[in-house]
Amino acid sequence: MPPFTFIFLSFALENFKTKNTTKKLLINKQIGVLGAGSFGTAVSNLIALNSKVVLYTRSDTTYQQITNTRSFNGIPIHENVEVTLDLNYLAKSCDLIFPIVPSRNFRKAIRELAPYLTPQHILIHGTKGFDIVGEDENESLEKLAITRENLKTMSEVILEETNVLRIGCLSGPNLASEIIAGQPTAAVVASRFKEVVTLGKSALNSKLFHVFGSNEILGAELAGALKNIVAIGSGMLSGLGLGKNIQAMLITRGLTEMIYFGKAMGVTSAPFLGTAGIGDLVATATSKDSRNFTFGYRLAKGESKNEIIESMSEVAEGVRTLRIARQLAKYYKLHVPITMTLYACVYDGFDLKKALDYLIQYPYDIDVDFI
Amino acid sequence: MPPFTFIFLSFALENFKTKNTTKKLLINKQIGVLGAGSFGTAVSNLIALNSKVVLYTRSDTTYQQITNTRSFNGIPIHENVEVTLDLNYLAKSCDLIFPIVPSRNFRKAIRELAPYLTPQHILIHGTKGFDIVGEDENESLEKLAITRENLKTMSEVILEETNVLRIGCLSGPNLASEIIAGQPTAAVVASRFKEVVTLGKSALNSKLFHVFGSNEILGAELAGALKNIVAIGSGMLSGLGLGKNIQAMLITRGLTEMIYFGKAMGVTSAPFLGTAGIGDLVATATSKDSRNFTFGYRLAKGESKNEIIESMSEVAEGVRTLRIARQLAKYYKLHVPITMTLYACVYDGFDLKKALDYLIQYPYDIDVDFI
């Protein structure tokens, strides 16, 4: 006879299953995804478990590939996913759209979509990086004095560029390769609007994907962007042949620096300590499938920054975020030695082993001072 | 010409180096370590970088091996480490002693040492588990109703069994195999007494080992013990062939449960969010060198609990802590689904894949509710 705990868990599990299958979908229309990169297609496949999906790509090649082969770069695309080249069609057929575009191109993509949007639309983005106002006109980010005025999160870009008000952000430990492989995970949909959270959860929730809700969107966006810096550092440590102890310390102290940035920008530590913070950070900074980890790893192995960037099929957002974060740290006068040292390693050729010595011997005041 | 950041970091690094070498040792006598397991020997080698060490072992074989070969199980023992079988000699020659003994034998070991201790002694333990009063007389931990009354941390055991007052705890991401391999990391010395923290830091600090101080000893002890449960779960996920996303979620939610235990016992969340918490958790739960991770991994691969335990050369503390934590959760009426489900998997044969389904679909209320 199975013991009590076993019976209890079995019963509870059945109970949840029943609840789940009887759950009514809140969205009857199709759901849109803007951007057919690896994460965009992974999210499309996830949503396709619950609803019809319209996936927009600007690339003819991608459109042809998905339409003709029902797969993209070897990844099968769910039959519920329709691919389109038409922004008007995307906006007309979907009230809820997930923009998932690299941060550097995000404003441009949203600007192109904007004429087709109405205040009835809901946008939940899945991009983990920053927009810098005025960047187009300047060759180098370093020449811009970055302040809170010209640093924008993706939700702020949507707010500026469209007439949409109900905006959310999707974040969490979501390595695309694992989602595509059908592995389980969780995420956060963060928004100031409860209905955005509810709709986002309803669109994405499945037995493989647990979606938490949160109203701290700025925190979720900052955590998602800043954690890529730590992932670069973690890749470097791995490239130097180092192990789990020091990786865990980098993650711990890196999280602390992320929280310092958040505090400076008026965010509580809570979003950094959950799924969109620790969750995303740990996954990205310990996985060889993470682009940012890989960037750091290859840098430590002796390749140059430009070699690595040119050979990567998709952007490692952290390389750009690092430049922005360094300037932001100056603006807010933050003590963030990991961020500053990683910048020196990536952009100024500072020796990685010296950097490690420096950080180990850095006179940190206190272990935890952000509560 | 190197850019400014480079110069700054180089200068700062040199500055720290100078400071470090001129630092005066606060301890002139030898420093003791009680217990020559893998972590005990690793700590001995660390301290030996700064001071002479007396390492106590109760095993004749170990004593002979270290004395004759200057190594232990293939690990070279630093020339500053003297090994002894004599508790009286350990206590006479060392004011500061680090007891590092499995939790199940901790009280017995301290009881044996007690007659040789004086109130001048300082004890900083490095054991990550609990003591249960009355366990000796009961075959099964499950037959005892565990409460805060009969659950003791290692520092509480020292307080009960000796006349020593100045007690501390060493915790953090300290996989012994990596420390032995000369890899860098960090740790926390936690104590209510500032001088214990200062002495502990002075004994252990080196260019490979950054030691933080903390006054939250109970939090550090709870974090160190409870994280082993999460490490078992993480090993299971890995044994099931799952990846980094879900591992990161287990770590995130596992940390939340650790904090719930802490709150129930009157501890703030701070110690869980630093080196002794996230740091230790991430290292242990992502490393194949961790005994607790390995236990979960092999269980998921189909081996029985007893088979695994019998074949391990050292104790996986989490297997015992899991039994204690489950009872403690009942006592405090905590909602800790990961702890309860892992217990069902390890002790009641609950199916691991069903457990995973259950946890993914568990109706968690909020992502972060412990701040």
What's the mean pLDDT in A227-234?
97
Mutation for testing the A interface, residue in B208, B247, B282, B371 having most A CBs under 10 Å = B282
CA closest to A271 among chain B residues:
B368
Pairing of strands A94-99, A71-72: unpaired
Catalytic residue among A52, A128, A201, A227: A227
Q: Give the ipTM of the model, two decimals please.
A: 0.91
A19 pLDDT higher than 80: no
Interface of B with A in 155-194 (CB under 8 A): 172-175, 178-179, 181, 183-186, 188
Interface touch A278/B13, C-beta < 8 Å: no
Interface touch B186/A275, C-beta < 8 Å: no
CA distance B367 to chain A (A): 6
Interface of B with A in 205-244 (CB under 8 A): 207-210, 212-214, 242-244
Extract the runs of DSSP E, i.e. beta strands, from A28-150: 30-34, 53-56, 71-72, 75-76, 81-84, 94-99, 122-125, 131-132
A330 is catalytic: no
CB-based contact B111:B161 (threshold 8 Å)? yes
Among the listed residues A222, A235, A253, the one whose alpha carbon sits nearest the alpha carbon of residue A103: A222
B68 pLDDT higher than 80: yes
- Convert the pLDDT of each residue in A188-209 to its tens digit: 999 999 999 999 999 999 989 9
Provide, as residue numbers in chain B, all residues whose Cβ is less than 8 Å from the Cβ of A243: 175, 178, 181, 183, 287, 289
Distance CA A246, CA A359 (A): 11
Provide, as residue numbers in chain A, all residues whose Cβ is less than 8 Å from the Cβ of B363: 16
pLDDT-derived band at B14 (thresholds 50, 70, 90) equals: very low
pLDDT at A138: 60
Interface touch A246/B183, C-beta < 8 Å: yes
CB-based contact A316:A228 (threshold 8 Å)? yes
pLDDT-derived band at A9 (thresholds 50, 70, 90) equals: low
Interface touch A358/B12, C-beta < 8 Å: yes
What's the mean pLDDT in B181-210?
95
pLDDT at B39: 96
What's the mean pLDDT in A46-53?
96
Provide, as residue numbers in chain A, all residues whose Cβ is less than 8 Å from the Cβ of B174: 245
- pLDDT higher at B194 or A4: B194
B30 pLDDT higher than 90: yes
Q: State the SS3 of chain B.
A: CCCHHHHHHHHHHHHHHHHHHHCCCCCCCEEEEECCCHHHHHHHHHHCCCCCEEEECCCHHHHHHHHHHCEECCEECCCCEEEECCHHHHHHHEEEEEECCCHHHHHHHHHHHHHHCCCCCEEEECCCCCEECCCCCCCCHHHCCCCCCCEECHHHHHHHHCCCCEEEEEECCCCHHHHHCCCCEEEEEEECCHHHHHHHHHHHCECCEEEEEECCHHHHHHHHHHHHHHHHHHHHHHHCCCCHHHHHHHHHHHHHHHHHHHHHCCCCCHHHHCHHHHHHHHHHHHCCCCHHHHHHHHHHCCCCHHHHHHHCCCCCHHHHHHHHHHHHHHHHCCCCHHHHHHHHHHHCCCCHHHHHHHHHCCCCCCCCCCC
| A123 three-class SS | strand
Length of chain A: 371
B231 pLDDT higher than 70: yes
Interface touch B183/A210, C-beta < 8 Å: no
Interface touch A286/B289, C-beta < 8 Å: no
Pairing of strands B166-171, B185-191: antiparallel
Interface touch B175/A363, C-beta < 8 Å: no
CB of A14 less than 8 A from some CB of B: no
pLDDT-derived band at B365 (thresholds 50, 70, 90) equals: low
A7 pLDDT higher than 90: no
Nearest to A6 among B172, B289, B350 (CB): B350
- Convert the pLDDT of each residue in B237-250 to its tens digit: 999 999 999 999 99
Interface touch A344/B287, C-beta < 8 Å: no
- pLDDT higher at A115 or A25: A115
CB-based contact A279:A173 (threshold 8 Å)? yes
CB-based contact B103:B320 (threshold 8 Å)? yes
- pLDDT higher at A27 or A248: A248
Provide, as residue numbers in chain A, all residues whose Cβ is less than 8 Å from the Cβ of B267: none
Pairing of strands A166-171, A185-191: antiparallel
Angstrom CA distances, A279 to A15, A118, A300, B364, stand at 27, 34, 25, 15
Mean pLDDT of chain A: 91
CB of B143 less than 8 A from some CB of A: no
Of A118-132, A349-363, B333-347, which gets the smallest average pLDDT?
A: A349-363
Residue A272 structure tokens:
């950094």
pLDDT at A365: 67
Beta bridge partners of B188: B171, B212
A102 pLDDT higher than 90: yes
pLDDT-derived band at B2 (thresholds 50, 70, 90) equals: very low
Summarize chain A as % helix, strand, coil (round to 5): 55, 15, 30
Rounded to 5 degrees, φ, ψ at A168 are -140, 175
Pairing of strands A53-56, A30-34: parallel
Residue B104 CB-density burial (10 A; 0-12 exposed, 13-18 middle, 19+ buried): middle
pLDDT at B28: 59
If you count residue pairs, one on A and one on B, with CB atoms under 8 Å apart, how many are there? 260
What's the mean pLDDT in A123-140?
87
Angle (CA) A335-A336-A339 rounded to 5° is 155
Give Cβ neighbours of residue A18 (< 8 Å, ≥ 6 apart): none
Interface touch A184/B348, C-beta < 8 Å: no
pLDDT-derived band at B139 (thresholds 50, 70, 90) equals: low
B109 pLDDT higher than 60: yes
Cα A37 → chain centroid: 13
pLDDT at B16: 46
What's the mean pLDDT in A5-10?
52
pLDDT at B18: 41
Give, for A4, the enclosing helix (H) or strand (E): helix A4-22
pLDDT-derived band at A21 (thresholds 50, 70, 90) equals: very low
Distance CA B226, CA B294 (A): 16
A16 pLDDT higher than 50: no
Interface touch B274/A367, C-beta < 8 Å: yes
- pLDDT higher at B21 or B38: B38
Rounded to 5 degrees, φ, ψ at B155 are -70, -35
What's the mean pLDDT in B321-344?
96
Find where tokens 């070897």 sit: A74
CB-based contact A193:A178 (threshold 8 Å)? no
If one counts every other C-beta atom within 10 angstroms of the C-beta of residue A64, the result is 13
Torsion sign over Cα A55, A58, A64, A69? negative
Provide, as residue numbers in chain A, all residues whose Cβ is less than 8 Å from the Cβ of B210: 249, 360-362, 364
pLDDT at B334: 96
Give, for A128, the enclosing helix (H) or strand (E): none
Give Cβ neighbours of residue B202 (< 8 Å, ≥ 6 apart): B23, B25, B26, B27, B50
Could you tell me the pTM of the whole model? 0.92
Distance CA B337, CA B272 (A): 19
Interface touch A275/B367, C-beta < 8 Å: yes
What's the mean pLDDT in B343-359?
94
CB-based contact B157:B105 (threshold 8 Å)? no
CA closest to A205 among chain B residues:
B361
A151 pLDDT higher than 90: yes
Nearest to B6 among A2, A183, A348 (CB): A348
- The residues of B that are catalytic are 227
pLDDT at B110: 98
- Convert the pLDDT of each residue in B197-216 to its tens digit: 999 999 999 989 999 999 99
CA closest to A285 among chain B residues:
B244
% of chain B with per-residue pLDDT over 70: 91
What's the mean pLDDT in A175-190?
94
pLDDT at B5: 52
Interface touch B283/A244, C-beta < 8 Å: yes
Pairing of strands B151-152, B209-214: unpaired
pLDDT at B136: 72
pLDDT-derived band at A5 (thresholds 50, 70, 90) equals: low
B158 pLDDT higher than 80: yes
- pLDDT higher at B296 or B16: B296
Provide, as residue numbers in chain A, all residues whose Cβ is less than 8 Å from the Cβ of B175: 243-245
Provide, as residue numbers in chain B, all residues whose Cβ is less than 8 Å from the Cβ of A273: 255, 273, 368, 370-371
